[in-house]
Structures are given as C-alpha cells and as structure tokens.
Chain A
Amino acid sequence: MNPPPVPMEKSESWPGATLLIYGTFGKNTPEGLRYHRRCTAALLALVAGLILGSLLPSGPARILPAILPGAAFTFIAWAFRRYLLELDELARGIQMEAITWTYLTGLAAAMLLAGFASVYHWGEINKISNFYWFILLEPVRGFWLYIISRRY
C-alpha cells in the first residue's frame, strides 16, 4: 500500500531580518515577546538614568548613573539567559553557536588590531586596550567552561 501523499508546505525559514536586527527569533512567541520587552525596559531605564545623571550635581547621587549601564546590561544578560532556556533545542543551538563565533571573531579582530597597533605605533592606549581584550576574555571563557562543565 502506498503511503498517503505528503503535503508540501512552504519552506518557512528562520526570520533572517529579525535575527540580523535584534539577534532573536522574533516577538511571535511568548518567550520572544518577553525578552524584547525586558530589553526595551532596560534600555529605556538606561537612557532615562543617563539623562537624569547628567542633570545631577556632583555628589553621592551620581553613583546611580555610574552603576546604571552595568546594572542594565546585567539585567539584559539575565533576560537573555532566560530566553535561551525557553527556546527549543535547535534555536538554542543556533544562538549558542552564534555566541561562540562572536567570541572567536572578537579574539581574531582584537589581535589583528593589536598587531597593527604595535607595528605602526597607533598609540599606547589602542595597543593596550586591544591586547587587553584577549587577556580579559580568555580567563572569562575558562571560568564559564568550568561552571558549565560542572553540570555534566
């Protein structure tokens, strides 16, 4: 007996524009909408805080705009982790591979710039900051490798 005809469906791919612009799979799913809302709230709070901070006189109150960028991006990092955990396995794999490649690209770009900066004397600040990327990123990666490997 022949199997029933297989319904042909439009081959709907991942949302390329949303991936390129927002780095997510869009707002059509509850987790996507939640992540976008959290990022928007964090960025609005960051901008509002920075504007407010520029109006504040010198004094202890200026600690608030000082910690705001770090706090906002810590919140975004937490929201992104939640978002990753709510994705299905393939979507999560795609995000994780993208992060891996971003990291590797960052390393290569930093060392490329550092090489040119050191040979052509682009200035001590540039040279130090570009090498610093590498010095900073490697222990961070080692730290996360350790933490993540404990789960398995």
Chain B
Amino acid sequence: MKNHLRVARAEQRWSQAELAERLGVSRQTVNAIETEKYDPSLPLAFKLAEVFGKPIEQLFFPVAQAVEPAGSRVVSTFPDAG
C-alpha cells in the first residue's frame, strides 16, 4: 500500500509524536506507516481517516495506482481498466 500520511500530517502541522498520541500508538508505528514499511490494520486505517477528517481512500491507495498528492486525482489505475 501507498499513503499520503506524511503530507496529511504536515497539513495539520503535527509531529509524529502528536499523531501517535492521537491514534494511541507508538511514534515508531507512525513512522513505519509513513515510510510504507508497515500497512496498518483496517481499524487503525479508519482511525487515521477519522483523525485527519478525510476519506480513507484519500490517505491509502494500492501500489498499482498513481495518485497526486492529497488524493486530488487518480492518474492511472489497474491495467486495461477501460
């Protein structure tokens, strides 16, 4: 999975520690999600969406998709989608 967490966090001007506290996880876990070393569980992904006030699909998307920052536009999706 890819994600826009770092950008979303920057928009809120939160540190990783602040975000971790809001989520009830460790700072290392926030870092691992941001650096895409770890895909969060569905409950944690929904909690992230709730904390940022964004739909989950604006934060997370499959590797096969290329999405502009902040999830404004889907450039391409899966092969031969049309």
A: which residues have CB within 8 A of B?
Answer: 3-7, 9, 11-14, 25, 29, 88-91
Contacts and interface: CB of A to CB of B under 8 A. Distances in A.
B11 A4 contact: yes
Contacts, number: 48
B10 to A, nearest CB: 4
Nearest to A93: B38
B48 to A, nearest CB: 12
A7 B10 CA distance: 7
Contacts of A13: 28, 31
Contact of B25 (A3, A4, A12, A89): A89
Contacts of B69: 3
B31 A91 contact: no
Contact of A90 (B6, B32, B70): B32
A13 to B, nearest CB: 7
B77 interface: no
A4 B29 contact: no
Contacts of B25: 88-90
SS of B interface (majority):
helix
B16 A88 contact: no
A3 B29 contact: no
B6 A6 contact: yes
Chain B interface residue count: which class? 20 to 34
B37 to A, nearest CB: 9
A6 B14 CA distance: 10
Contacts of B64: none
B3 to A, nearest CB: 13
A9 to B, nearest CB: 5
B69 to A, nearest CB: 6
A9 B15 contact: yes
Contacts of A5: 10
Contacts of B24: 88
16 contacts: A3-B70, A4-B11, A5-B10, A6-B7, A6-B9, A6-B10, A9-B15, A9-B31, A12-B27, A13-B28, A88-B29, A89-B40, A89-B44, A90-B28, A90-B32, A90-B38
